[in-house]
Amino acid sequence: MRRLFYNIICIACLMTAVNGYAQDQEQQQRKVTPVKPSTNKVLTPPKGTDEKIIQQYLSGDTAQARAQERKDSLAKIYPRYPKLTELSLGLNFGDAILMAFGQKYSSFDVSATLNMWNRFQPVLIAGLGRAKDTPDDMNYTYTGKLSPYFKIGANYNFLFKNEPKYQLYAGVRLGFSIFKYDITNVIINNPYWGEYDQNYQLKGMSSNALWGEFLAGLKVHIASNWSLGWEAKFHGIFNYKKSDNGKPWYIPGYGTQNGKWAFGLSLYYTIPLSKDSWPVKEEKKGDAK
């Protein structure tokens, strides 16, 4: 009996000692456990940072500061011109030069191009065209009377990061014309009846046409608000009014019906619409002012 009581006392003492050791270890672990760093730690702003962004850093709002830095960085890479950047009025006189080299038709038009964000450019065109030709190997004279044509379309400027003075663009056009033409001096030889010079006149014939164009162009500044532009066009006819006596050889604003390519040369006068808000290039250190 006495031995049993002694064993119980020993076990109780052992458990007390083990429990005390565990509590001591837990207290020691609490003392050495590192404290988590503060999530509001103020970071040092990069060199050359704008003063407003620095204030955001100092206030601890690093997320907003970094967002503003990214926005400013993108603005330097992709400058944001105003929605209505400029308006260009153009005069196409390319056919006048080609006529000097023997071309038998001509089109002259004026255009209005609205430059938006220095990238997207809606275009309106109105012009007049005429033609006269007596083919060497044919027996008639074709006369296309002076008739109007109209085009509507848009350009995309690939140099939108640069100043609007220099542009490289691609565009589309939808054209329409109502016109009249004559086919005269139609000579028919009839040797069977002994008649060799029967002359026919087909006058006052009318037609209309609808066509589309894909084009690529270049515009360069020459002086003050004046610029020159070149365009190469690939086009095709959607529909045209046919005649019982044949199809029209020339369509104002389009060219000869069988032609697929056309070229233009235009003189532009540009009117700035929001010049004060255009991006300004930062001057490099050491540049003369």
Structure tokens at 147: 């008739």
pLDDT at 40 over 60: no
The count of other CB atoms within 10 Å of the CB of residue 177 is: 24
Q: What is the DSSP letter of 165?
A: T
The count of other CB atoms within 10 Å of the CB of residue 254 is: 27
DSSP 79-90: ----SEEEEEEE
The pLDDT tens digits for 256-279 are 999 999 999 999 999 999 866 677
Q: What is the DSSP letter of 46?
A: P
The pLDDT tens digits for 217-245 are 999 999 999 999 999 999 999 999 988 77
Q: Residue 192 in 3-state DSSP?
A: coil
Q: Residue 51 in 3-state DSSP?
A: helix
The count of other CB atoms within 10 Å of the CB of residue 110 is: 14
Q: How far apart are CA 138 and CA 259, in angstroms?
A: 19
pLDDT at 119 over 90: yes
Top mean pLDDT of 9-18, 47-56, 131-140 is at 131-140
**Nearest partner of 86 among 284, 277, 270, 281, judged by Cα:** 270
pTM, two decimal places: 0.71
**Nearest partner of 123 among 92, 79, 146, judged by Cα:** 92
For 207, phi and psi rounded to 5 degrees?
Answer: -160, 175
3-state secondary structure 237-260: EEEECCECCECCCEECCCEECCCC
**Cβ neighbours of residue 132 closer than 8 Å, sequence gap 6 or more:** 104, 105, 141, 142, 143, 144
